[in-house]
Amino acid sequence: MAPVEIGRLAGVSTRLRSALYMPGANERALEKARELPADALILDLEDAVAPDAKAQARERVCEAARSGAYGQRTVTIRVNAIGTEWHDADLAAAGAAGPDAILVPKVGSAGDVLDVEAALVRAGAPDRTRIWTMLETPAAVLQAAEIAGACARLSVLVVGTNDLLKELFAEATPGRESLQTSLALCLLGARTAGKAILDGVYNDVRDTEGFEVECLQGRRLGFDGKTLIHPGQIEICNRVFSPSEQEVAQARRVIEAFEAADGAGVVTLDGRMIENLHVESAKRVLSLAQPST
C-alpha cells in the first residue's frame, strides 16, 4: 500500500491527529493558538466569521499565517465556500500568504479542486501550500475517490459531518449509525488516492466521554485524525490517535520476529501467523509513535 501523503514540509509535523478550528475574526484566539498542542490549526474564514467581518478576518488570518509564530503546527486557512461572494478573494489572499494548506468547503467534484489549484497558481501560492477539501454533501461523498485523486497538490480530505447530516436529512445519534456508509465511502476514496483523511467535529464540548468514544470509533475506522472545535478536546484526540505503549511494543516484536526469520515469507508469533503485510502495519505504528519533527 502506498504511503499516505499529508504534505510533509520542512519543519512541519507529519502527524494530523488533531486539527483545531480557530475563529479568524478573534485576534486573541489566534494568539492563544500559538501555545496549543494541536498538530494542525485551521484558521477559519467561513462559519466562525460573520459576513460583515469577513474582510478584516481575511487580513488577520493571512498575517497570522505569514508570521511563522505557530512552530511545528500545520497552519491551514479555511476559505469561504465555492460560489460565495468571498471565495475568490479568500483564495487569492490565502494563496499569496502561503500557509501550509488551504481548506476548501463544499467541494463537489474533481473539477472544483482543479479550479482551486488554478486560482492558487494565479495567486502565486508556493508549491508547498497544499489543498485540503471538505466532503460535506452527498455528491462529494459519492465522488470521494475522484476528488482525492484530482491533483497532486491535494493532500487531505476532511469530512464535514454536520453539513452531511443536514444534507442527508439524517439524525445525529451516538455511534453515528446514519453516517456509517458516508464515512466508509470517504475513507475508501482517500485511501484509493493515497491521501490523508480527517474525521468531522464533535459538537458537545462538555461531553468528554462521548468525544473519546467517537475518537476511538474514528481511529478504528481508519481516520488519520479528527477536526476539533475546542482546545479542551486536543489532549484526548492526540492520545487516542497515537499508538499506546502496548501497541508500540507489539509492533517491535512483530518486526523483530519477521527479521529473525531471515527471509521466510511467513512466521508465527504467539500462535498467530505474521507475514509482510503485518510488518508494514507494524512499521506504520512505529512511525506514528515518533515525535513530530
Q: Which tens digits make up the pLDDT trace of 99-111?
A: 999 999 999 999 9
Closest CA to 158 of 57, 93, 74: 74
Domain that holds residue 259: 245-289
Q: Would 26 be classed as within a structural domain? A: yes
If asked whether residues 163 and 283 sit together in one domain, one would say no
If asked whether residues 207 and 265 sit together in one domain, one would say no
- Whole-number Å distance between alpha carbons of 19 and 63: 20
State which of 203, 219, 240 marks the end of a domain. 240
Per-residue confidence (pLDDT) for residue 89, from 0 to 100: 98
Per-residue confidence (pLDDT) for residue 224, from 0 to 100: 97
Q: Which tens digits make up the pLDDT trace of 12-48?
A: 346 899 999 999 999 999 999 999 999 999 999 999 8
Number of folded domains that form the chain = 2
If asked whether residues 162 and 46 sit together in one domain, one would say yes
If asked whether residues 150 and 95 sit together in one domain, one would say yes
If asked whether residues 162 and 281 sit together in one domain, one would say no
Per-residue confidence (pLDDT) for residue 116, from 0 to 100: 98
If asked whether residues 186 and 278 sit together in one domain, one would say no
Using 70 as the pLDDT threshold, list the residues of the chain that sit under it: 1-14, 263-264, 291-293
Q: Are 168 and 141 in contact (CB under 8 A)?
A: no
- Whole-number Å distance between alpha carbons of 2 and 287: 15
If asked whether residues 117 and 172 sit together in one domain, one would say yes
DSSP code at position 271? T
Q: Would 65 be classed as within a structural domain? A: yes
If asked whether residues 253 and 225 sit together in one domain, one would say no
pTM value surpassing 0.85? yes
E-strand ranges in 45-129 read: 74-78, 101-104
If asked whether residues 154 and 230 sit together in one domain, one would say yes
Q: Is 202 helix (H, G, I), strand (E, B) or coil?
A: coil
Q: Specify the CATH number for the domain of residue 66.
A: 3.20.20.60
Per-residue confidence (pLDDT) for residue 2, from 0 to 100: 38
